Amino acid sequence: MLLIAAPAANATTLAEEICSTLDREPNAVGVTIVAISLLQAGASEEEAADLMISSVQGVCPQHNVALRDFINRYQGVSYQIA
């Protein structure tokens, strides 16, 4: 699981960490792991989405299908982190 401190993380390092997670889990599970990790680190849902999209587009475009499928399936669903 990702351990991200989103505000303190270097953007390149964060994108690489997101892509590394998606390399290990190139599906909805991997996207969920990234999303929950970002939310737990304090990112808003919009910030988490922006970080994932920019990371996939800029660093690991091979995961675009997994991210797009996740977005299409869960668009409008809100995560609540305890």
18-28 pLDDT, tens per residue?
Answer: 999 999 999 99
Confidence band (pLDDT; 50, 70, 90) for 8?
Answer: very low
Task: Please give the pLDDT value at position 10.
Answer: 61
Residue 38, domain member (yes or no): yes
Residue 25, domain member (yes or no): yes
DSSP 3: -
Residue 82, domain member (yes or no): no
Residue 80, domain member (yes or no): no
The boundaries of the domain holding residue 53 are 12-73
Residue 1, domain member (yes or no): no
Residue 44, domain member (yes or no): yes
Nearest to 14 by CA among 25, 32, 41: 41
Nearest to 45 by CA among 36, 58, 33, 54: 36
pLDDT 10s digits, 35-68: 999 999 889 989 999 999 999 999 999 999 999 9
Task: Please give the pLDDT value at position 65.
Answer: 93
| Whether the predicted pLDDT of 81 surpasses 90 | no
